[in-house]
Amino acid sequence: MLAHSGDSWFWWPGLILLWWRGDAFWRPWALRMLVCILILAAVVLVVKFAIRRRRPEGEWGAFYRATDPHSFPSGHAARTFLIAVLASGMGPGWLALVLWVWAPLVALARVAMGLHYLSDALAGALLGALSGGIALRIH
């Protein structure tokens, strides 16, 4: 469950709902987050298809193995660290704290499930954190 909490199919509708129903603080917050996640997804796909590193052998995650056979970098790690960095810069502080605990747990869960090598998760985390820092500088 922890590993799946970083799934894009979970975040996209949640952020769209937050944008639609949110107040003056949460609407722009959700929109910025959604745009950054979409841009990062494109970057991760480009890197994955350029490197084409096969996922570790295993039984878990048949859906991921079928739809995305490449493991480097971990898109889940990239996305969760991006979200944590953006929340750190955009607030609220309590949410950023929660997300900084959550992000590495998701990345490690992906490794524990056998869907990624540790280097995939570390590279994804670095890519997500750097992307979040760049997005905050632009913002």
The pLDDT of 119-138, averaged and rounded, is: 96
Element containing residue 56 per DSSP (H, E): none
Is a pLDDT exceeding 80 seen at residue 58?
no
Question: Read out DSSP for 88-138?
Answer: HHHS-HHHHHHHHHHHHHHHHHHHHTTSS-HHHHHHHHHHHHHHHHHHHHH
Note the pTM of the prediction, 2 decimals: 0.89
| Alpha carbon distance 26, 11 (integer Å) | 14
Mean pLDDT of 60-73: 76
Domain ranges of the chain: 3-138
Phi, psi values for residue 49, rounded to 5°: -75, -20
Nearest Cα to Cα of residue 95 among 29, 13, 36: 29
